[in-house]
Chain A
Amino acid sequence: MGKVFAFHGGIHPPENKKQSTRTPIRKAPLPKLLYLPLQQHIGMAASPLVNIGDRVLKGQMIAEPVGRISASLHAPTSGIIRSIGPHPVPHASGLESDCIVIESDGQDEWIEHQSIEDYTKLEPGTLIEHIRRCGIAGMGGAGFPTDVKLHLGDDHIVNTLIINAAECEPYITADDMLMRERAHEILGGIRIISHLLKPSHIMIGIEDNKSHAIHTLEQVLKGCELNIDIRVVPTKYPSGGERQLIKLLTDIEVPSGRIPADIGIVCQNIGTTTAIYRAVHHGEPLISRVVTVTGDAVAQPQNLEALIGTPFADLLDAANVYENKLYRLVMGGPMMGVTVEHDQIPVIKTTNCIIAATIDEMPPAPPEQACIRCGMCEQVCPAELLPQQLYWFSKGREFDKARHHNLFDCIECGACAYVCPSSIPLVQYYRFAKSEIRTEEAEQRKADHARQRFEARQARLEREEAEKEARRKARAEEAARAQQARKNNENAAATAEPAQDISALKTAAAVARTKLKKAQKALDAARESGEGDISALEAAVQAAQTSADQAQKALDSADKPSAPTAPAAGADIKQLKTAAAVARTKLKKARDALKNAEDKGLDGLDKLRATLSTLEQKAEEADKAFKDAENAASSSTEATPAAPVDMKALKQQVSIMRTKLKKAEAALEGLEGDERSQAEQALEELRQRHAEADQAFKAAEQAQIDAAAAQGVDLKQLKIDAAMARAAVTKLERALAKTEEEQERASLEAELVTARDKAEQLNKTLQQHEPA
């Protein structure tokens, strides 16, 4: 037996362990309903694999682990999944959490499961994965997923394995009884852990008040090939605290904020070793555990092997609870356990004890008195803190200072509160301070995150703005460049490629004509007066004539291709119309000019005639192009009603037709003879078209109404309208509440009434059309 060291502080509360060790571990009766919280361990909550109404078999996985630190969950018995939802769980807050509820069918039918023949032949990773699949989490109280601890050998040098059998809390005897009755399983479990972690030294830390268990373990360990040491430590609370036990057995302290593996130590609880044994040698997942049911309010304090998820009430019944004496129900020990508010709360993987206490056994704490700084708390603190300083800081909300006094090294063992003569709930103060600090940190994190997002958004908006600005600039530059280019082109076109720009050509032709006229005038004047160099003038006129002809020719050649291309280009009808109109006007002007010339008997009549004929031709062309385009357009409008219909466009079409028709009728009256018959024909055509359009519109409308009737109007639109109307009403109401002026109020009220009516109407329609 090795040397045992000491840790600072500690207390000796009344043990109260004898009551529950008189009878062997008994199987608890199968409960009707089992509540399985998805989170029974530290880490992420498991995610359900089953649905309501499914039948599950005993040992079937019903929730799988999420992420690295998590544990799976198995059905403790066969039955039907009744619900998945909030149910009270054993937690200090008394709040609810998601649970899977199984109604047992009483058959307790196992799913097919298999033991591992020889685990030593398995890859360690596979073996650990098997243990993970079995949902094993530390059964001492914290519920840390065991597979994570078993992986510690991967990145740490583990030379010492400590099996925590101290069970220092009063009342609890679950581990004690386990050691008395299932020492072989414990040894088997230790073998597996040892195989995985390969420690050089294994220690079982056990308090000296469990002589029976010590004896049994010694018997089992006789002849064991492993280097296992049973270290008996003096009974003192909290020797079972992980860090305290390590100090007791090795005299090494785990550095603050680190884990034992950092100093080469891994701790496992006795209960966890048996769970590992059963998982490996029987293939059974963690679905039951030994629970001490004790306290003065039960007639037969004892240890029960209970299925995970069994409500406390069933266990209390099994131990014959005195309902009327029950005052306080504690899950866990009296020093660190949590109170539960009612007895439908289920056993979870970490439930080692249920204390049903009477009021005499655990009376309510007397009112808190002033701290007299007696320092007793400091004498018992196993973490060597200054509890009363922490108390002052927590109370005064000086959390920075509390942190500086190592608040987070507090293990909340309750020794300080136990000895406090002023009955100060010290532990609650520390818990309060810790959760305040944690919340503050979380808020700080969130604030920083929000700031980052805000700044990112701000940067994005600025960037977008800048980009927009840049685009705008680029566009402006582009435009300027284009302008410049065009100018350059124009200049070039005037000299090199006159065919390119009609307007330039026109100007050139006009200029040439003017020059010609001037030259001719000069020639006429010269001829009349008989002075000057007539021949030179004639030559000049000739030259001017040539250049004017050339210009005209160029213009014509440029003009001609541009006119016919327009209709082919797919017809901007409006443009075409304008072009036709222009052509007609030109024609008219030319005709006028011709008439004038004929009247006056001027020269160049032939030329004018020629121009007129070209113009006529052009006007015809333009007209034709326009008509073609219009036909095409009307045919396309005629086609539209067949397509899923722009009702608005249709409507417009119809009204345009109607207008045209009216105009045509009006024009008809003023006409005679041939024209009249022609016009009548056109009118007939128009009428027909109008009728067609109207029909199309009506058909479309009907179709829409039919569709609406069939599918319930345009629900979305209607909903939006209704919501808008409602919003308008609330907005008006708000405004009304704010305004005080009489007149404004009156008008607002009137508005409100209309708005309400509208909203109501819309709502009604909505209700009518909404599929029930």
Chain B
Amino acid sequence: MQATQFHITSLLDQVISGLPGLLPELVLIAAFVLSIFSGVFVDRLWRHSTLAVALLGMIAAAVCSGLELRTPAAENLLFGTVLPDAFAGYIRIFIAAACILFALSIVANPDFTAHRKKTADLYSVLIAVHIGLNLMVMATHWLMLFVAIELVSIGSYIMVGYLAKEARQTEAAMKYALFGAVCSAVMLYGLSLLYGFTGSLEFTAQPFIDGLTATPPLLTTLALLLVFTGIGFKLSFVPFHFWSPDVYQGAPTPVTAFLSTAPKIAGMAMLVRILYAWPESSAPAQSLHTMLLVAAIATMLLGNLAALRQANVKRMMAYSSIGHTGFLMMAALAYSAGDYTVLLFYLAVYTIMNMGVFMLADHIESRTGATDLAAYNGLGKRVPLAMVCFVILVISLTGIPPTAGFVSKLLIFSVVFERWQATGNPGMIGLLIVGALTTVISLFYYFKVPLNAFLKKPDADQTMETAPLSGGLLWLIVILSGATLVFGIFPQWLTNWFG
């Protein structure tokens, strides 16, 4: 009975020794509590007080993550639930960047600023989601992972339904909430089965791996399929993608920008952690590998082909982000343990490009009211700077030099090719071919934007009015577009930092 006795002091010691690894999250928790108070009491005196609290909290969290990069944890903390290693440290910084950009684009969005509910609560929700995303990246325990996913999901439902101004927004929120809740419920059932097979919840630990290998492969595959329903929902890969075009189109545009970036980065980190927690030769890892390989190929093809025939810009970009998910999965599959530079580079560049392009769509929508591709006709003359940025970001998303998108795609292709040469796995060459093919396909829909904006004449009945809007957000987007060019020409600035 020695093992079952509670040793309160030693347990507390273990908790306290683990806390420094979670410093960014502790900062965020403090900011969360403060933001609720400032939303209730201080917002009446100063309109932007909650925003200020949220921004300061998130910047402080990013700085703490940066400081932790110097002393990454070598082993799991807090009873094997989290692993704040260097990989998690970098991704936490990307997530903080995406959250800060989201907060800034809310301030610039007239729909949000004029809303009767005010935006204070939204910032509190954003901080909570930020904590959830950070935990998702670090989790090495199914319970922690599940709590983190739910924290992110519930926060995201609130974000999508926050305005509830038009019928469509509520529809998007309902679809998102119902589909998300079903996926996480199914995932929970899968987790309960995995727990039954192995008797352990810590998925990187030896007892879990031993238990999984000892179980009949059919059962583990079934349980993993159920678990990956929940993860697939967060990443929106095929066949769990069909919520995302509807939700991305219906949600307020800043929310779409956030949802297509931050949860995807965190989800990808989580996927990599699960994928490489188990030895590659073991049966469960093999079946997981095959499942994800097929899903990655299907995701790339479907995302890019469906984007071709979209008329709505947000819907088109939604499919494009599904296509990018497939690409990221390819990077995750080819990632060899220990060397995460390529994956991190792609994630960093994806954060910049995707946030940039959706923020730009938001900016153009609130200035000119254009949401369809046809309404972009002639916009090159009306909002020249915005359209030039759009072109740069779209070039980067396609993967054409001299942008960061090109370098990141090139790096992934070369890693996949090396991997194919090393293992002779036909799946890798399949990924490579489909990846190259869909890059070409993506040209056709991405280039509709500059084509319409610069070469086509606007319709006669189109209004030529441009709503006056402060240029702050636009300059931010200019910086982001500039960053894609800079990192395209000097990729070593980023890769050296990851080294």
Real binding pair: no
